[in-house]
Homo-oligomer: A and B are copies of this chain.
Amino acid sequence: MSSAQKPAPAERQRDAARTRAEILAVATGEFARDGYAGARVDKIADLTRTTKRMIYYYFGGKEQLFTAVLEAAYSEIRQLEGDLDVEHLDPVAATRRLVELTFDHHEAHPDFIRLVSIENIHEAEHIIASEKLSRLGSPATDVLQRILESGRKAGLFHAEVDAIDVHAMISSFCFFRVSNRHTFGALFARDLVDPDSRDHYRNMLADMICAYLTSPPLHRDGEELS
C-alpha cells in the first residue's frame, strides 16, 4: 500500500471517477437545498473543480443528474439497512432496535429526507423511471416481516400487524420530525430536532410502536358504521 510501486501520482490531473463523484456530491447538496427547479446547473458546476461541460459529459443533463443523485442516496440507505442484525433479539427488543435505527438514520441524513420530499413533489417520476431504483428492494421491511412473525407466534403481538404498515408508521414519525421541523417549529414553537429532546422522541416512538403491536385492536377491520 505504502510502497511507491506506482509513483503515487500525488495529484492526478485527470480522474474520471473522482470528477464524477465530486459532481454527484455537490449536486446532492444543491438539489437538497433548492429543489429540482431551484437548483442551478451553473452553480453546481462552480462548486466543483470542473466545469458545467462535465455535468453534461458524465450525466447528460440536469434531469439525469437528479436521478443519479437519488439513486446514489437510496443506494447508501439500503446498504446501511442491509447491515442491520436484530434476529437474535426478542421481538419487542428487536422492534425497538429497528425503530431506533430508522430514527437515527433519518436524523443523520437530512439531505436524504429533503431529496425524498422533493421527489414526492415530482410524484416520484424519477424513481419510477429508474431501473436501478425499481430493482432496489427493502431490507428493512424484510427484517421487520420476520420480527413481526416471530412476535405473533410467541403470542406477544396481535394478529393484524402488517410489516409494510408498521414500517409506514415508524417512517412517518422519523421522516416528519426532520422534513417538517421548520414549519412545525415556526407554528408550535417546538424544535423537534433539538438534541435535548432527542432521547425523549426516540423512546416515545419506540413505546408507541410497541404499545400498538402488543395491545389488542380496539376496532374491527371491515366494520361498517351504517
Contact = CB atoms under 8 A, between A and B. Distances in A.
Interface of A: 34-38, 114, 116-124, 127-128, 133-134, 136, 138, 141, 160, 164-165, 167-169, 171-173, 175-177, 179-188, 190, 192, 199-201, 203-212, 214-215, 217-219, 221-223
* Chain A interface mostly: helix
A209 to B, nearest CB: 8
A179 B117 contact: yes
A208 B203 contact: no
Contact of A204 (B36, B165, B206): B165
Contact of A123 (B120, B182, B211): B182
Given A35-B121, A169-B173, A208-B212, 6 more contacts: A117-B117, A128-B186, A168-B173, A168-B184, A207-B212, A212-B212
A118 B164 CA distance: 26
A219 B201 CA distance: 12
12 contacts: A34-B121, A36-B38, A117-B179, A120-B179, A168-B177, A168-B192, A169-B173, A171-B184, A203-B217, A206-B219, A207-B212, A215-B215
A182 B119 contact: yes
Contacts of A183: 116, 119-120, 124, 127
Contacts of A210: 218
B180 A175 contact: yes
Number of copies: 2
B211 A180 contact: no
Contacts of A141: 188
Contact of A35 (B35, B168, B203): B35
> Which of A201, A207, A210, A214 counts the most B-chain CB atoms under 10 A from its CB?
A207
**Shortest Cβ-Cβ A-B pairs, 7 listed:** A172-B176, A37-B38, A124-B182, A211-B215, A208-B212, A37-B37, A211-B211
Given A176-B171, A203-B221, A124 B35 contact: no
A77 to B, nearest CB: 11
Contacts of A214: 211, 215
